[in-house]
Each structure stands twice: as C-alpha cells, then as structure tokens.
Structure 1
Amino acid sequence: MPAAAAIKVMIVDDQASMRAMIRRALEDYGFRDVRDCPGGEEALAAVRTNRVHLIISDYNMPGMDGLGLLEAVRGDPVIGKTVFIMLTGSADRDIVQKAAALGVNNYLVKPFAPASLKEKIERVFGALT
C-alpha cells in the first residue's frame, strides 16, 4: 500500500474547480481519504470533528482566509501539529513570512503542476510510494 493511502487530507479553497483539480492530483498519487471545504470556518470545524494529517489551504478566501485557518489550527492543542500547506496566487513576501511565523509546513504558488504539489508533500511526509 502506498504511504499516501494512509494520509487523510483536507483541501480548503473557495473555488470548486481548484478543489477538484487538487483532489484528482492527490488521488493519482495514491491518496484515498481526501475531503474538501469551500472555506476556513467549515474546514476548521470539520478537522476538529474528524482529524486529518494534512491540510492544503488556499490563502485568499472570503471569511476566514488561509492565514486565519493556519493560526486557528496552530492554536488548537488537539489539531495544532497537523501538517499545513498554503496555496497562494502570489509570491507576496509578506504573506509567506506571516505563514512561516505561524508555522506553515510548506507553501505553493498558483498555478502549479501536480508534481510540485507532490514534491511539497513529500518534503514533509517523505516518499509517497
């Protein structure tokens, strides 16, 4: 069984097409438990109820943005160690620095190739296959 099959993932992005694209890429790499939410608040509630190993979150979302979600996750004693990868539409140094200060595990600038996503995940979890 590929290592990816044991990793539970939550995708958080307000664009359904982006969630679907990420889901397809993850499934192609062997992930089996992939969930998604359109916003930070829903994702936080879902992850608190049913924990995951990895959160892949967009930065720019209405309501709770990716930095807000990251801060809430890191501040929670139960889910605080969850691996968090931030997606951003720009390589804005300020956003990257804030995410790093909050403890993001990795970040990826959109648009990205599925291989780049795999590489970012493997830098945290090790080889997926």
Structure 2
Amino acid sequence: MPAASAISVLVVDDQLTIRALVRSGLQQLGFKDIREAADGEAALRELLAKPAHLVISDYNMPKLDGLGLLRAVRAHPPFRTIAFIMLTGRADTDLVQRAVQFGVNNYLVKPFTVQVLKEKIEAVFGALTA
C-alpha cells in the first residue's frame, strides 16, 4: 500500500478553480507533494524539472491538450512509467478509447467527489494509506 504522502502529483488544468478542487481533494486524501500547471506545455516543463509519480490532466486545454500531453509523456522514456489520469467534463467514448490507445491509466469525469478521486487513484496505485 503506497502512502499518499509519498506520491508526487502534477495537476494540469487551464481552470484555476478545477486545479484548486483537485488539490483540495488530494490533500484530504493525504497527498503532500502536489504541483500544478495550466496547460500541457507547462506540464511538460514541470515534469522535465522534476518528474512526478502521477499526472491528473484535463483533456480540453489550450496549447497542448490532455491527449497531446499523454502522448508526449508516453513517448519520452524517462516519463513512460508515470501514472496518468485523464480529467474531463466529457464522458465521450471516442475520447476514452483514444486515451486508452495512448496509454492512459484511468479516467475521471467532472464533476467528481473526493471518494471517486480516491477510487480512481487506488485503481492505479492500489490502496492508499495516509
């Protein structure tokens, strides 16, 4: 069981309010190392500066969208093992299939509860401890 406090997370969303909601949920679950980026390009710069264990990324963003970020993460050997959860307001089956094709680990539909966030993360990492 990994401790939530040992998992570093990068939250990527162009909306500050969504980043704040995800950060708050993660903090309630015991996560301590949480960084943020406003788009896919900024996220890649963050990951190059300091890799994360988990990326929670919105799909629809300017500059580089979530699928583009996922593809870039999976194409860069040092990042290939980073867990990736796609966050979106669209439960679009085509989008889900494309994300799965590019190696997404899980999918989170907005709006979400802290319990659902926990379940999606635990589906990737196993049961979390505080």
Q: Which residue of 1 aligns with 2:85?
A: 85
Q: Which residue of 2 aligns with 1:37?
A: 37
Q: Give the Cα separation in 2 of the matches to 1:84 and 1:77.
A: 15
TM-fit CA distance, 1:111: 0.9
TM-score w.r.t. length of structure 2 = 0.96
Q: Which residue of 1 aligns with 2:54?
A: 54
The 4+ residue runs of structure 1 with deviation greater than 2 A are none
Q: Give the Cα separation in 1 of the matches to 2:31 and 2:96.
A: 27
Q: Which residue of 2 aligns with 1:99?
A: 99
**Residue 63 in 1 paired to residue 70 in 2?**
no
TM-score w.r.t. length of structure 1 = 0.97
Q: Which residue of 1 aligns with 2:116?
A: 116
Match of 2:5, SS state, is helix
User: Counterpart amino acid of 1:127?
Assistant: A
TM-fit CA distance, 1:63: 1.1
Q: Which has the higher contact order (CA 8 A, sep 6+)?
A: 2
Q: Which residue of 2 aligns with 1:8?
A: 8
Deviations 1:42-71 (A, max 9, x none): 101111220100000000001100000000
Structure 1 gap segments, 5+ residues each: none
Q: Give the Cα separation in 1 of the matches to 2:14 and 2:111.
A: 15
The count of corresponding residues between Structure 1 and Structure 2 is 128
| Greater mean deviation of Cα atoms: 107-116 or 66-75 | 107-116
User: Counterpart amino acid of 2:51?
Assistant: R
Structure 2 gap segments, 5+ residues each: none
Deviations 1:96-115 (A, max 9, x none): 00000000000011111111
